[in-house]
């Protein structure tokens, strides 16, 4: 079980906690919380992230090659779109980069939206974050020794570039920030260090496609996700 703790300063400090447990799927990502793959992406499919009632968060957990350091992680970007009555706020949505040097362990938070407040994102339109790991983009390193909420990326790189990256996620958990208690955002074409995730799923061509977590990234002929590996294998055998 992982715990992601984000601090966000608007008027004082706000603590956001997200607890997830997930194994990486064969294609390099796993959905957790209130996250689902839906049509209407930019183009194709997208991941729909919802933060409302329990569990209060949704996200995507991406595989990271062993030995990757924070300095090696060159790119974080994504297309994103909010529902008509939603926006960014409360430190959400964001990228999370789990890092450690063996003794100092924490998560670097890279917020999506216009700094410094990361609020007032326009709804109902696809936007792109650009590469959030470049230039003077401020990122939150406050979980780490010597870290701070507004740490320019270049400064963070000097302090934590040698730290090992143990996980990368994109998360939405800001429903608490809004009057209606809900936040919904779609993400597509997510770029994690040059690997672009489009979230487009296909039908299995044989039972081997269902193995090793592959069933999590496949759909049946109606576009519905499989419940488990056995459900996927059964579909390849009899189409049901």
pLDDT digits (tens, 9 = 90+) for 142-177: 999 999 999 999 999 999 999 999 999 999 999 999
Q: Is 155 helix (H, G, I), strand (E, B) or coil?
A: helix
Residues 192 and 162 in one domain: yes
| CB hemisphere CA count around 151 (13 angstroms) | 24
% of residues, the chain, pLDDT over 70: 87
Residues 235 and 164 in one domain: no
Residues 96 and 206 in one domain: no
Residues 130 and 111 in one domain: yes
Residues 140 and 88 in one domain: yes
Residues 224 and 191 in one domain: no
Record the pTM.
0.79
* φ/ψ of residue 106, rounded to 5: -175, -170
CATH number of the domain encompassing residue 74: 2.60.120
DSSP-assigned letters across all residues of 93-146: SEEEEEEE-SS-EEEEEEE-SSTTTT--PPBSS-EE---SSSTT-EEB-TTSTT
Contact 60, 170 (CB under 8 A): yes
Residues 32 and 150 in one domain: yes
pLDDT band, very low/low/confident/very high, at 20 (cuts 50, 70, 90): very low
Determine the structural domain holding residue 228 and report its residue range. Answer: 201-240
Residues 217 and 102 in one domain: no
Residues 216 and 160 in one domain: no
Residues 116 and 230 in one domain: no
Token output for 225:
């996700």
pLDDT digits (tens, 9 = 90+) for 180-221: 999 999 999 999 999 999 988 777 888 888 988 888 878 777
pLDDT digits (tens, 9 = 90+) for 29-45: 889 999 998 889 999 89
Residue ranges of alpha helices (H) inside 132-193 are 153-160
Contact 10, 88 (CB under 8 A): no
Name the residue with tokens 């608490």. 176
Residues 146 and 221 in one domain: no
**Looking at residue 12, what is its pLDDT?**
30
pLDDT digits (tens, 9 = 90+) for 215-239: 887 877 766 788 899 999 999 998 7
Contact 58, 34 (CB under 8 A): yes
**Looking at residue 224, what is its pLDDT?**
76
The domain total for the chain is 2
Long-range pairs of 29-35 with CB within 8 A, sequence gap ≥ 24: 29/60, 29/61, 29/62, 29/63, 29/197, 30/60, 30/61, 30/213, 30/216, 31/58, 31/59, 31/60, 31/61, 31/216, 32/58, 32/59, 32/60, 32/61, 33/57, 33/58, 33/59, 34/58, 35/59, 35/60
Residues 112 and 231 in one domain: no
CA nearest neighbour of 207 among 228, 229, 236, 239: 236
The torsion defined by the Cα of 132, 135, 136 and 142, in degrees rounded to 10, comes to: 60
Instruction: For residues 105-110, give the mean pLDDT.
Output: 98
Instruction: For residues 6-11, give the mean pLDDT.
Output: 40
Contact 203, 220 (CB under 8 A): yes
Contact 231, 219 (CB under 8 A): no
């Amino acid at each position: 079980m992982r715990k992601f703790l984000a601090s966000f300063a608007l008027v004082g400090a706000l603590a956001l906690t997200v607890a997830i447990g997930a194994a990486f799927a064969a294609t390099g990502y796993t959905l957790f919380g209130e996250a689902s793959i839906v049509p209407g992406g930019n183009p194709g499919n997208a991941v729909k992230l919802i933060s409302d009632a329990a569990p209060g968060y949704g996200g995507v957990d991406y595989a990271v090659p062993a030995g990757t350091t924070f300095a090696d992680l060159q790119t974080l970007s994504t297309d994103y779109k909010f529902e008509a009555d939603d926006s960014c706020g409360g430190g959400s949505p964001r990228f999370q980069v789990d890092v450690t040097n063996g003794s100092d362990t924490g998560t670097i938070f890279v917020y999506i939206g216009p700094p410094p407040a990361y609020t007032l994102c326009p709804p109902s339109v696809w936007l792109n974050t650009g590469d959030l790991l470049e230039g003077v983009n401020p990122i939150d390193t406050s979980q780490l020794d010597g870290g701070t909420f507004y740490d320019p990326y270049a400064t963070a790189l000097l302090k934590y570039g040698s730290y090992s990256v143990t996980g990368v996620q994109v998360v939405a958990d800001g429903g608490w920030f809004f009057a209606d208690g809900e936040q919904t955002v779609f993400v597509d074409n997510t770029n994690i260090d040059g690997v672009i995730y489009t979230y487009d799923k296909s039908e299995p061509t044989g039972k081997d496609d269902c193995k090793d977590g592959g069933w999590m990234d496949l759909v049946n002929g109606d576009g519905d996700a499989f419940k488990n590996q056995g459900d996927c294998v059964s579909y390849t055998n009899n189409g049901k």
